[in-house]
Amino acid sequence: MENLGALAILLAFCLAVFAVIGSVVGGWKRNEFLVISAQRAVYSIWLLVTVASGVLVSSLLASDFRFAYVAAHSNRAMPTLYKFAAWWGGQEGSLLLWSWLLASYAAVVVFTNRRKHRGIMPYVTATLMVTQCFFLILNAFVASPFQMLAVGRGITSVADGQGLNPLLQYPAMAIHPPMLYLGYVGFAVPFAFAIGSLITRQPGDAWIHTTRRWTLVTWLFQSSGIILGAGWAYAVLGWGGYWNWDAVENASFLPWVTATAFLHSVMMQEKKGMMKVWNMVLISGTFFLCIFGTFLTRSGVVSSVHAFAQSSIGQWFVGFLALTIAGTVYLILSRLDYLKTEARLESVVSRESSFMFNNLILLAAAFAILWGTLFPVISEAVTGEKITVGPPFFNRINIPIGLFLLFLTGVGPLFAWRRTSLESLRRNFQWPLLGGLVLVMGLFVAGMRHPYALMSFGLCLFVAWTISVEFYKGARAIHAKSGQNLLLAAVELTRRNTRRYGGYIVHLAIVLMFVGFTGSAFNKDTTIEVKVGDRFTLGHYEMKVVDLREGDNDNYSQSSALIEVWKDGQPLGTMAPERRFYKASRQGTSEVAIRRRLNEDLYLNFAGKSDDEQRAVIQAFVFPLVSWIWLGFWLLALGTLICLVPSKVRFEFARLPAVRVTQKYAATVKK
Amino acid sequence: MRRRLRSSLLILAVAALMLGQGGNPLENARVRLLGDQLACLCGCGSSITSCNMLHCHISEPARQKLLSMVNAGRSDSEIFAAFVKEYGQRVLLKPPSEGFNLLGWLMPFIAIGAGLALVWWLIRRFRRPLAATAGPEPDPALMAQIEKDLDKLD
């Protein structure tokens, strides 16, 4: 079995090398036979990596502890779901998952484009396969999941494995890594098309049209991965934090930020033929940040709760990154002529310049996060002393940047393309702006003094208002024509231009998330040692400990508390926070009890026993508005899916002829 | 002599009271505030206030130490200095804005400044009209339509 897995990886590596050479030579010499042969190799690679993954997964399910990986990341008593999830529970397995996802994406790309884009496809295949080669090298030679323990030769038998990290034995956590990897790996596809388009000197932006859906789907995966991680941290770590600016969290956030910038700036290229170089830089940067994020998780360069065991694997990543970055920079520089802008900016007050600001601010946020993540390494190299860059640093720098972005979310879409008159600005903004100001004053009078919270709530209302007005205006126009009621008219409006209104829905989702983030300024908590019959209070809540219990099963032992809860004298029922101790890994985890409501969550954590073992230590938290974050995510997913649906009305931008006419027009006016 | 005895008894009593108060340092607001600026170095990745490992060998003594320093009326900078002396610079979650670390704080703003300058330069460059390129003579009907649409814009 183990030999089958290792052999499959080796064969896949050989085929990947062939696929690179075959497609490059085939594309260059216009040898269709070689190109097609290379594409068949892509399918075979998928099959081989699937076989290797199958071997690993089946040995995990069968608890075959001769495999070093299985012994280190699973144990017999683990539920089947988590035995399967152990595939990505450790370094070697998760790298194999990377390879498998990439092989799957590559196979889908090759299949769906088998009759399209014949010119650039060989180079797209080659780019994907270079990446595939790199990961297969890691799978085969650096971090092989098929290393065997010397059972029968020295070791007689391995009775049980060490078990999966218990923090990972949680449903959201089981799907968080694959979601994130689907995002990380997915950005390889638009990157590959960009490189293909550069190599073949494509004049237009076919690569953008082709990969728009890929990019959106990948972006949605990345968003889901990040939010699942946040939701998991909130429900599992026991202190209700969902984002800690940990190095690896930052690493997953960085490509998301640059991809968001990309999704916006491609519109400049599609509609105006501007910012072509920039889009190349953005999509390449996003891909490199994906590789970089994988590198940070695995190399132990920065300390992080997510990091896998320290290893020398980092050098391989550094080498791969250096080579690919150098190659991409060379390609972009040598093809600047093909990336010339086709249009001019007519006014500073226009949609065009608002896109530039949006990109600037997103990139500034990405840079600040990257800088803060790497600064401990830089500083230690320069001064020789270890320092920490933690949440206070990131919050101080990123909260103002985030608020400015929120402001742009409201303002940007209302600027017209080309130029916007002051009169239309006044018309669009006066009421939402006034509404936001009134809200801020109202909250201030009501006693809220937190400056950022006040700004954030004001901006949230402002942005939500401008978006609602956009929907209302469009829906009213349809209502006037067709007589549909306003709600149906809004649906019709969205169906006519899914990209635009889907985008607005995503913006609205971001607003909901900001409301949730802002709620954290008003968190409350208390820690208390209690015995049965004790009462304690937190804010409006009163709690009474009814019972303390102990339990035990094969996988873990547990202690739990049964707590009766009242709010302002009204009974709310009982909650049962629990503490588990996993036997195989000898680690403890919290199973918190959360009462989720839109206005606030009540969150109880069984932190442990007092020194004399007689009393329970209970941590109680109130988290205002935190549910809005998760609600925002669902809306974000809906908005993104709407963007993927083709619009009912086809918008023809007929950009090139129109641009030439305007140029001619500009010239005649000048004379 | 008696007075000395009485004052030492008083000091003992105060000390005992402070020790007995040990209950939960997190109930003290200033301890929480200061603890949120200090890293718990047990590997949990959180701050001294938010570390929730039970009987953590770093955060629990650190909280007691914070509480006693807060009760002794020490200033923030004195408290941070004491922690840096014990654990090194890396105990500060926010690097001090001095020396090389000042660069850590300034760099994001330098980047935003440079970005703004770049955008300003680009906007200026993009606003210069392109040289007219030779193309087919535009259709007069289309030109009229453009003229009309442009007027409608404002």
Which residues face A530 on adjacent strands?
Answer: A616
On chain B, the residues whose CB falls within 8 A of the CB of A385 are: 88-90
On chain B, the residues whose CB falls within 8 A of the CB of A374 are: none
Residue among B94, B108, B138 minimizing CB distance to A371 = B108
State how beta strands A600-609 and A535-538 pair. Answer: unpaired
Phi, psi of A605 (to 5 degrees): -120, 130
Between CA A318 and CA A535 the distance in angstroms is 56
State how beta strands A535-538 and A593-595 pair. Answer: unpaired
With CA atoms as reference, report the closest residue to A58 among A91, A93, A9.
A93
Residue among A344, A348, A527 minimizing CB distance to B129 = A344
**Both structure tokens of A466:** 């401008």
Residue of chain B whose Cα is closest to the Cα of A377: B104
pLDDT of residue A326: 96
Q: How confident is the model at residue A671 (pLDDT cuts 50, 70, 90)?
A: very low
**Chain A within 8 Å of B54 (Cβ-Cβ)?**
yes
- Report the pLDDT averaged over residues A171-180: 85
Distance from CA of B9 to the nearest CA of A (A): 30
Query: Is B119 within 8 Å of A418 when comparing Cβ atoms?
Result: no
Q: How confident is the model at residue A514 (pLDDT cuts 50, 70, 90)?
A: very high
On chain B, the residues whose CB falls within 8 A of the CB of A265 are: none
Between CA A52 and CA A4 the distance in angstroms is 7
Opening angle at CA A258, ends A379 and A208, nearest 5:
150
Query: Is B132 within 8 Å of A663 when comparing Cβ atoms?
Result: yes
pLDDT in tens, A138-151: 999 998 999 888 77
Range in A64-68, A337-341, A564-568, B105-109 with the lowest mean pLDDT: A337-341
**Chain B within 8 Å of A366 (Cβ-Cβ)?**
no
Q: How confident is the model at residue A304 (pLDDT cuts 50, 70, 90)?
A: low
| Residue A145 DSSP code | T
Q: Is the pLDDT of residue A670 over 60?
A: no
With CA atoms as reference, report the closest residue to A310 among A318, A300, A301, A302.
A300
Q: What is the pTM of this model?
A: 0.87
pLDDT in tens, A56-88: 999 999 988 888 899 888 888 888 898 999 998
Query: Is B93 within 8 Å of A392 when comparing Cβ atoms?
Result: yes
- With beta carbons less than 8 A apart as the criterion, state whether A558 and A580 touch: yes
Residue of chain B whose Cα is closest to the Cα of A401: B112
Range in A609-618, A619-628, B109-118 with the lowest mean pLDDT: A609-618
Write out chain B's pLDDT in tens, 154 residues: 455 555 655 555 544 444 444 457 777 778 888 888 898 887 777 788 877 666 778 888 888 888 899 999 888 889 999 998 888 888 888 888 788 888 888 888 899 899 989 888 888 877 766 555 556 667 788 888 888 888 877 5
For chain B, the domains span 2-91, 96-126
The b-or-e profile of A300-329 (16+ CB within 10 A means b, else e) is bbbbbbbbbeeeebeebbeebbeebbeebe
Q: How confident is the model at residue A307 (pLDDT cuts 50, 70, 90)?
A: low
Query: Is B45 within 8 Å of A305 when comparing Cβ atoms?
Result: yes
CATH topology of domain A523-624: Tick-borne Encephalitis virus Glycoprotein; domain 1 (2.60.98)
- With beta carbons less than 8 A apart as the criterion, state whether A475 and A493 touch: yes
**Chain A within 8 Å of B64 (Cβ-Cβ)?**
no
**Chain A within 8 Å of B117 (Cβ-Cβ)?**
no
Between CA A19 and CA A40 the distance in angstroms is 9
Q: How confident is the model at residue A633 (pLDDT cuts 50, 70, 90)?
A: very high
Q: Is the pLDDT of residue A95 over 60?
A: yes
Count of CA atoms in the C-beta half-sphere (13 A) of A608: 12
- With beta carbons less than 8 A apart as the criterion, state whether A494 and A642 touch: yes
pLDDT of residue A219: 96
**Chain B within 8 Å of A661 (Cβ-Cβ)?**
yes
pLDDT of residue A401: 92
Cβ-in-10-Å burial (0-12, 13-18, 19+) of A514 comes to buried
Q: Which of the two residues, A626 and A668, has the higher pLDDT score?
A: A626
Query: Is 1.10.8 the CATH number for B2-91?
Result: yes
pLDDT of residue B31: 87
ipTM strictly over 0.90? no
A:179-238 residues touching chain B, CB 8 A cutoff: 237-238
For chain A, the domains span 2-395, 411-521+632-670, 523-624
pLDDT of residue A617: 86
pLDDT in tens, A545-558: 999 988 888 888 88
Q: Which residue in this structure is represented by tokens 């007995």?
A: B20
pLDDT in tens, A431-484: 999 999 999 999 999 999 899 999 999 999 999 999 999 999 999 999 998 888
Query: Is A527 within 8 Å of B26 when comparing Cβ atoms?
Result: yes
Distance from CA of B30 to the nearest CA of A (A): 14
Query: Is A423 within 8 Å of B39 when comparing Cβ atoms?
Result: no
Residue among A364, A375, A662 minimizing CB distance to B112 = A364
On chain A, the residues whose CB falls within 8 A of the CB of B88 are: 385-386
3-state secondary structure chain B: CHHHHHHHHHHHHHHHHHHHHHHCHHHCHHHHHHHCCEECCCCCCCECCCCCCCCCCCHHHHHHHHHHHHHCCCCHHHHHHHHHHHHCHHHECCCCCCCCHHHHHHHHHHHHHHHHHHHHHHHHHHHCCCCCCCCCCCCHHHHHHHHHHHHHHC
Q: Per mean pLDDT, which of A113-117, A367-371, A616-620 is the most reliable?
A: A367-371
Residue of chain A whose Cα is closest to the Cα of B42: A305
**Chain A within 8 Å of B123 (Cβ-Cβ)?**
yes
- With beta carbons less than 8 A apart as the criterion, state whether A594 and A235 touch: yes
**Chain B within 8 Å of A487 (Cβ-Cβ)?**
no
On chain A, the residues whose CB falls within 8 A of the CB of B37 are: 392
pLDDT in tens, A352-369: 888 888 899 999 999 999
Residue among A244, A619, A665 minimizing CB distance to B146 = A665
pLDDT of residue B152: 77
Phi, psi of A121 (to 5 degrees): -55, -40
| Residue A546 DSSP code | E
Between CA A447 and CA A85 the distance in angstroms is 48
Distance from CA of B127 to the nearest CA of A (A): 5
**Chain A within 8 Å of B108 (Cβ-Cβ)?**
yes
**Chain A within 8 Å of B104 (Cβ-Cβ)?**
yes
**Chain A within 8 Å of B94 (Cβ-Cβ)?**
yes
Q: Is the pLDDT of residue A254 over 50?
A: yes
Query: Is B115 within 8 Å of A527 when comparing Cβ atoms?
Result: no
- Report the pLDDT averaged over residues A416-430: 80
pLDDT of residue B6: 59
Between CA A315 and CA A318 the distance in angstroms is 5
